Amino acid sequence: MNKYTLLFILLFHLPVFSQKDVMTFLKKNNGELYAELQKNTLFDAGFSANRYVFLGEIHGFAEPQQVDLALFKRLNSRDSFNYYIAEMDDAKAWLLNEYLSTGNETLLEDVFYSWKQDTAQWSNKQYFEKFQQLYAYQKTLPAQNKFTIVGVDKPQDLIITLRYFKMLFTKTSLFVDEVRQLEKALEEQSLSLIEQTAKILLGRISSEKDAAQQVYGINYVNITLLLNNLQGINQSRDFSMYQNLKNYVAAYELEKKKMYGFLGVFHCLQTSYNNVTPFAQLVKMNMSEKTCTILGYYTDGFIMMPYIGQMKQMLPAAVVDQMKGSHPDFANTDRYVALPYSNSQSNPFMEKVAEIEKLEQLAQPSSVHVFRLTGKDSPFNKQSTYAEVNGAMGIQLTNKSDVTTKAFQYIVLIRNVNPASPR
């Protein structure tokens, strides 16, 4: 058999999916999200069997908070997902777990005040109210269903980190000099010194593990997790998130436990993008093949964006003041602005997902709609439709031969999306 005959055979047997095939598949594999969460069709036994499920959002929208809440409740109540991975560090997760346990809303306020000081998009009313709803939900749960927030991010606020550090090291009869050196580094917010002193202290604790466990008791595990995070403070963010999760799972012996995560879109991608290895790809490669990603896409609405730096140069204050008239929630803030959001490359702030119009045809206006992309007959197993985003917020596959379902398995489309409200 010559090479031309072989090439002909290979081409002849390659599946060719037309646009009609794509629409036929999508029509059979879509539904209104909240209704589908109550069924076992799109979210079937195969979905429930995943060890990790990630929901990827673009920060600054209102609706994803309720999507997150509904999805997590479903996974927690039906499938024993008792760990909620969040895009925050271990210190903020400590405050939020204390809030979920005690109902002390001051702790919740502390976390959101920190985000507000950073002009982070997480500082919004919908996110705050979601944690209030999570607290109410936690109170209803039997012991076996109660959940824990797992903070996997690099340190976000060194003031809160210092507060957490002091709580953990209430007993300082061991390694007093090393503890004080790290405490001073945190006070000075010197990243290189924090990295160096955390490594030294972790080494001392590891070398005298039995004594450290006896002195620090129940705090010992969290101490080692915090020190590992601090000694990697200069690592790349996605790798640091993965390392923190891996350390957490090993420390608490959770290798067989199921976990759900609500994170920014990029962190939830399961293959390389923009020559970077995202968090979810590292999890799938090194922790469990049973990893599922649900990616959020949004059309025709508004997004809450920080009004700082370059944004102030691009949008004069007079224009922003006019925009506030249509969004009263932004009337009393100089930190954020509600920007028009559309799936179009003509919008300099936004993005373009090719052929998203096909998804819109199957979803009602102002709806939250889900599309399953997997299945043995799925065209998305052979092509990269919806897998790339063009524009200012673009993400491109590193390997152009990768297909959509290698990167993610579901899409949630929110039409006529609303901006989150500044808090």
State phi, psi for 41 to the nearest 5 degrees.
-105, -75
Positions of the chain with pLDDT lower than 50, given as ranges: 3-16
Residue 240: other Cβ atoms inside 10 A: 21
The predicted structure's pLDDT at residue 394: 85
The predicted structure's pLDDT at residue 2: 54
Q: How far is the CA of 316 from the CAs of 302, 330, 421, in angstroms?
A: 18, 16, 21
Helical spans, DSSP H, in 50-175: 64-79, 90-102, 105-117, 125-140, 158-168
Compute the distance between CA of residue 270 and CA of residue 297 in angstroms, rounded to an integer: 17
The predicted structure's pLDDT at residue 349: 65
At 226, list the tokens. 């915090």
The predicted structure's pLDDT at residue 8: 38
The predicted structure's pLDDT at residue 326: 86
CB-based burial, 158-195: b 16+ in 10 Å, e otherwise: bebbbbbbeebbeeeebbeebbebbbebbeeeeeeebb
Do 330 and 374 form a contact (C-beta atoms < 8 A)? no
Query: Which SS3 state, helix, strand or coil, does residue 265 take?
Result: helix
Looking at the chain, how many residues does it have?
Answer: 423
pLDDT tens string 125-183 = 999 999 999 999 999 999 999 999 999 999 999 999 999 999 999 877 899 999 999 99
HSE, CB side, 13 Å, CA atoms: give it for residue 48. 17
Helical spans, DSSP H, in 237-395: 237-251, 279-286, 310-314, 317-324, 356-361
State phi, psi for 23 to the nearest 5 degrees.
-65, -40
Query: Which SS3 state, helix, strand or coil, does residue 388 take?
Result: coil
Containing 181, the helix (H) or strand (E) segment is helix 176-188
Radius of gyration of the chain (CA): 23
> Which residue is associated with the tokens 């997790």?
225
Containing 205, the helix (H) or strand (E) segment is helix 191-207
> Which residue is associated with the tokens 């595990």?
221
| Sign of the CA dihedral with 223 first, then 227, 233, and 236 last | negative
The predicted structure's pLDDT at residue 16: 47
